């Protein structure tokens, strides 16, 4: 299967440290690829390089064979790559519904292309799928923790993007919310969405991932099917901080 | 007394237009500009020149003022909007100081310190609007129009995009929003609104000079927005009425020497701003701290 999104030699330095260091990674279409690794491994930085929030010092990103590196974030978003943020970055002083509606409106002028009714329907579906309908009129700032996490997902769902980059979307969720979250991701994948999931909780990774890439100190140490990666004692030692 | 009140009401409508237009930047776009008086001034000079050199037609003057102030604000903002929020405040402060100097020195265009005098009373399609009550209605009409435009835009996708970037630029970008374009459009709209206010002001005073377009004025407009409630429709109007009524009310306090009014006024402004930021940071029309 050819990759939908492929990174080659992606590198980004901050001062002396290489946060991402020559990473090659392919996201195969229609599956969940989990990106794991210890704190500071460069997972979030890798997302920022894909989405244009950071420019790479070297390397390339290709979407379905077309180079998309060095474009502005809004250009990349409009190609159908949606992302969440580790710290959510909700539109705090807007209502839940407006947060989601906003995600269905790609144009930045005074009008939007396409049908308004279809956009509204997409926003309402995203609210329903994330269980936020009853809170649609509340300000995002007033939501509880799990609700905030779901709003961040609802925004992505509403974009209609085919590639989702999710930065620790399930951290801190209670079991019921986690089940809802897993179901949401599985539905998306069943619809053909391609997902890259940064996740620290290995239970969630085992439950959801079709493939795992392991990052440490900016470098991709391993990539493969979950059973193989998680059985590797060397990687486990790094992951659990038993570094020599 | 009636003439005094009509004059005050005209001023209130004009400053209402100023604060409503600045609210697009501060309240909805999160763009803190302390240069709004610059665009007020550009509009006033443009309007005055149309009236003096062409015809005192209010529509023509307002259009010219909106165009000049809008285009200048967008042009000046383009480089500055690329810097982070904190730096924009400084950049706009620099612009304000620069503009005050230019307004003072470019006496061929602005009349320098002496200003432009003898601006004829406004007309509309040849009908005189010289009557103070009629002119007040014109000013209120302009304010109502501005409010309607802001309300329409802020309930639509443009307003959502603008508020989104106010709350998180990177998240707005990740949803496909062209942040520099949105900010430029917001600045252009705000500038055009200030320009129209300037043209009205030129007719209202029949005279314009640089003293109305200084940093003090920019700070006053900003205070109107913030005290009233940035990012709300009614907030800037409340702030405008309060801050304009204050000096007027002080003149009625018996025993307060007129020379002290300025100082007392500054004291009250300062105290009000400080107390407000502590107890009601979202402004009078905004939500109370901790309110759900
Ligand atoms: N904007 C930045 N400026 C300077 N250093 C940065 C910046 N962003 C990330 N870094 C550094 O790059 C390295 C990788 O950070 P990154 O946030 O990508 O790690 P991560 O794998 O997402 O970690 P975590 O699991 O804690 O979220 C860290 O050492 C971090 O301090
Ligand atoms: Mg991270």
Burial (CB < 10 A; 0-12, 13-18, 19+), residue A20, is buried
Sorting pLDDT into bands at 50, 70 and 90, what band is A214? very high
Instruction: Give the mean pLDDT of chain B.
Output: 92
Question: Residues for chain B: how many in total?
Answer: 292
Interface contact A110-B176, CB threshold 8 A: no
Residues of chain A found within 8 Å of residue B175, distances taken between Cβ atoms: 77, 82, 102-103, 106, 155, 159
DSSP designation for A29 = T
The 3-class SS string of chain B reads CHHHHHHHHHHHHHHHHHHHHHHHHHHHCCCCCCCHHHHHHHHHHHHHHHHHHHCCEHHHHHHHHHHHHHHHHHHHHHHHCCCCHHHHHHHHHHHHHHHHHHHHHCHHHHCHHHCEECCCCCEECCEECCCHHHHHHHHHHHHHHHHHHHHHHHCCHHHHHHHHHHHCHHHHHHCCCCHHHHHHHHHHHHHHHHHHHHHHHHHHHCEECHHHHCHHHHHHHHHHHHHHCCCCCCHHHHHHHHHHHHHHHHCCCCCCCHHHHHHHHHHHHHHHHHHHHHHCCCCCCCCCCCCC
CATH of the domain spanning A1-80+164-169+195-244, picked from 3.40.50.300, 3.30.70.100, 1.10.10.10, 3.30.420.40: 3.40.50.300
Q: Is B2 an interface residue toward A (CB < 8 Å)?
A: no
Answer yes or no: do A155 and B153 touch at CB < 8 A: no
Look at A74 and B153 and tell me if their CB atoms are within 8 Å.
no
Query: Residue B157 is nearest to which of A89, A99, A112, comparing CB atoms?
Result: A112
Q: Does B256 fall in a domain?
A: no
Asked, for residue B269, whether it belongs to a domain, the answer is no
Q: Which atom of ligand 1 is nearest to the CA of A86?
A: 27
pLDDT for residue B289 is more than 70: no
Average pLDDT over residues B97-110: 96
Counting the structural domains of chain B, the total is 1
* pLDDT tens, residue by residue, A122-142: 999 999 999 999 999 999 999
* Residue B183 reports pLDDT greater than 60: yes
B90 CA from centroid of ligand 1 (Å): 30
Q: Which residues of A touch B174 (CB under 8 A)?
A: 51, 53, 73, 77, 82-83, 85
Kindly state whether B231 is in contact with chain A, defined as any CB-CB distance less than 8 angstroms: yes
Q: How far is A229 from chain B (nearest CA, A)?
A: 31
Identify the residue whose C-alpha is closest to ligand 1 atom 26. A39
The strand order across the sheet containing A194-198 reads: A81-83, A163-167, A194-198, A32-36, A211-216, A219-224
- Our CA-based measurement puts residue B155 at a distance from the nearest CA of chain A, in whole angstroms, of 9
- pLDDT greater than 90 at residue B249: no
pLDDT in tens, B201-248: 999 999 999 999 999 999 999 999 999 999 999 999 999 999 998 877
- Residue ranges per domain, chain A? 1-80+164-169+195-244, 81-160
Cβ atoms B68, B223 nearer than 8 A: no
**How far is the C-alpha of B41 from the C-alpha of A193, rounded, in Å?**
54
Residue B108: per-residue pLDDT: 94
**Residue span of the structural domain in which B61 resides:** 2-215
Q: Which ligand is nearest to the CA of A53?
A: 1
> Cβ A110–B158 below 8 Å, yes or no?
yes
Give the one of A92, A112, A159 whose C-beta lies nearest to B175's C-beta. Answer: A159
Chain B residues lying within 8 Å of A169, measured CB to CB: none
At B292 the pLDDT is 43
> What count of CB pairs under 8 Å joins A to B?
91
Tell me the shortest Cα–Cα distance from A108 to chain B, in angstroms.
6
The pLDDT of residue B120 is above 80:
yes
Q: How confident is the model at residue B251 (pLDDT cuts 50, 70, 90)?
A: confident
Q: What is the DSSP string of A4-22?
A: SEEEEEEEEEETTEEEEEE
CA-to-CA distance for A35 and A25, rounded, in angstroms? 10
Report ipTM for this prediction.
Answer: 0.95
Ligand 1 is surrounded, with C-beta below 6 A, by: A 14, 17, 19, 37, 39-45, 86
pLDDT recorded at residue A243: 56
Per-residue model confidence as pLDDT tens digits over A49-59: 999 999 999 99
pLDDT digits (tens, 9 = 90+) for B193-207: 999 999 999 999 999
**Do the domain assignments include residue B281?**
no
Query: Per-residue pLDDT averaged across B80-105, rounded?
Result: 89
Separation of alpha carbons B69 and B41, rounded Å: 8
Instruction: Report residue A111's pLDDT band, with 50, 70 and 90 as the boundaries.
Output: confident
Rounded Cα distance between B182 and B179, Å, is 5
Binned at pLDDT 50, 70 and 90, residue A244 comes out as very low
**Average predicted confidence (pLDDT) for chain A:** 95
Question: What separation in Å is there between the alpha carbon of A146 and the centre of ligand 1?
Answer: 24
| B274 in reach of chain A (CB within 8 A) | no
Q: Which residues of B touch A93 (CB under 8 A)?
A: 163, 166-167, 231
Predicted TM-score (pTM) of this structure = 0.94
Question: Is residue B162 within 8 Å of B28, Cβ to Cβ?
Answer: yes
Which B residues in the span 124-153 are in contact with A, Cβ-Cβ below 8 Å? 153
Mean pLDDT of A184-189: 97
Q: Is position B270 within any domain?
A: no
């Amino acid at each position: 299967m050819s990759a939908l999104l492929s990174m080659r030699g992606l590198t980004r330095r901050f001062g002396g440290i290489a946060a991402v260091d020559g990473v090659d990674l392919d996201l195969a279409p229609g599956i969940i690829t989990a990106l794991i690794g210890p704190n500071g491994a460069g997972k979030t930085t890798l997302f920022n390089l894909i989405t244009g929030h950071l420019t790479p010092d070297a390397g390339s990103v290709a979407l379905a064979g077309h180079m998309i590196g060095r474009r502005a974030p809004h250009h990349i978003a409009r190609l159908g790559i949606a992302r969440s943020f580790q710290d959510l970055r909700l539109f705090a002083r807007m209502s839940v519904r407006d947060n989601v509606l906003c995600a269905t409106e790609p144009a930045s002028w005074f009008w939007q292309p396409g049908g308004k009714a279809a956009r509204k329907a997409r926003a309402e579906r995203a609210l329903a799928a994330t269980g936020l309908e009853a809170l649609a009129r509340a300000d995002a700032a007033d939501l509880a923790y799990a609700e905030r996490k779901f709003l961040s997902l609802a925004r992505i769902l509403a974009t209609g993007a085919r590639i989702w980059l999710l930065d620790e979307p399930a951290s801190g969720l209670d079991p019921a919310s986690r089940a809802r979250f897993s179901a949401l991701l599985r539905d998306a994948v069943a619809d053909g969405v391609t997902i890259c999931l940064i996740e620290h909780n290995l239970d969630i990774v085992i439950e959801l991932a079709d493939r795992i890439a392991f990052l440490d100190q900016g470098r991709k140490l391993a990539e493969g099917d979950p059973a193989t990666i998680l059985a590797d004692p060397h990687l486990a030692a790094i992951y659990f901080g038993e570094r020599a | 007394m009636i003439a005094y009140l009509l004059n005050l009401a005209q001023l209130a409508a004009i400053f209402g237009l100023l604060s409503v237009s600045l609210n697009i930047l501060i309240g909805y776009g999160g763009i803190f500009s302390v240069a709004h008086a610059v665009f007020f001034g550009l509009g006033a000079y443009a309007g005055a020149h149309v009236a003096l050199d062409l015809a005192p037609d209010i529509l023509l003057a307002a259009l010219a003022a909106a165009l000049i102030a809008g285009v200048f604000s967008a042009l000046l903002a383009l480089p500055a909007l690329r810097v982070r929020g904190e730096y924009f405040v400084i950049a706009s402060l620099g612009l304000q100081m620069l503009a005050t100097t230019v307004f003072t020195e470019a006496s061929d265009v602005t009349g320098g310190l002496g200003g432009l005098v003898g601006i004829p009373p406004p007309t509309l399609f040849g009908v005189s609007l010289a009557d103070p009550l009629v002119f007040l209605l014109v000013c209120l009409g302009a304010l109502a129009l501005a409010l309607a435009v802001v309300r329409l835009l802020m309930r639509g996708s443009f307003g959502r995009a603008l508020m989104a970037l106010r709350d998180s630029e990177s998240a707005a970008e990740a949803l496909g929003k062209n942040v520099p374009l949105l900010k430029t459009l917001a600045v252009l709209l705000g500038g055009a609104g200030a320009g129209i206010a300037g043209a009205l002001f030129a007719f209202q005073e029949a005279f314009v000079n640089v003293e109305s377009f200084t940093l003090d004025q920019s700070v006053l407009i900003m205070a109107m927005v913030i005290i009233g409630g940035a990012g709300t429709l009614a907030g800037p109007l409340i702030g405008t009425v309060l801050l304009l009524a204050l000096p007027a009310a002080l003149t009625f306090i018996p025993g307060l020497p007129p020379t002290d009014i300025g100082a007392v006024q500054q004291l009250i402004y300062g105290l009000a701003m400080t107390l407000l930021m502590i107890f009601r940071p979202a402004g009078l029309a905004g939500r109370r701290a901790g309110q759900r």
